[in-house]
Amino acid sequence: PHTTDDIYALGATLYDLLTTRPPFYTGDVYTMVQNAPAPTISQRLAEFALANEVPPQVESTIMACLAKDPTERPADTATLSAMLFPNEAPPPPPPPEYIPEMESVFAEPLEKTQQYLEDNLPDEVTDWWGTQSADRRDLTLVICLLIAMLSAELLYSFITHKGKVFKTIQETPFFSPFF
């Protein structure tokens, strides 16, 4: 891949964005991409009755990006930028929109942030574990441990007996010392 391949891809993407269709979209697209020149943006806009106003230098730059011969395409992004903005520097990016909620808490004094948190946070939330008595917590912990141990034993038995655990249980006669 070469830089001019990326320039072609950028031109095709911009063409598609401005005209709602890629440069070649019907017929034998592979052959057309290799041999046929792309219709100009003005032709494509007229074909689909689109009212997009594309500045002439933008159209000519995009069409240069779509040139079949890579040597006729802009060589790099600096050349591309110079073609898009002749005799001037490209405009700076617009400043981001101000969103008060995105303001950093560090931009304000710590006391103001602390007061905001005290006024707006809900009362202290206690979890279930903290509200239970020690005896109930201990009982819950013991039950959870027993369930975990029983599950581990069943898993171990299942693995070591290759899935025959339940069959073995069913085949084992009921033991009664009184018979």
Q: Which pLDDT score is estimated for 129? A: 58
pTM: 0.49
Q: Which pLDDT score is estimated for 156? A: 82
Tokens 């391949």 sit at which residue?
A: 5
pLDDT in tens, 19-33: 988 898 887 888 888
Q: Which pLDDT score is estimated for 143? A: 94
The torsion defined by the Cα of 82, 78, 58 and 28, in degrees rounded to 10, comes to 140
Q: Where are the alpha helices (DSSP H) in the chain?
A: 3-19, 29-35, 41-47, 56-65, 77-84, 110-120, 128-131, 134-160, 165-171
Q: Which pLDDT score is estimated for 168? A: 58
Tokens 């279930």 sit at which residue?
A: 128
pLDDT in tens, 91-148: 778 887 877 766 665 566 777 777 877 777 766 655 555 666 777 878 888 999 999 9
Q: Which pLDDT score is estimated for 87? A: 80
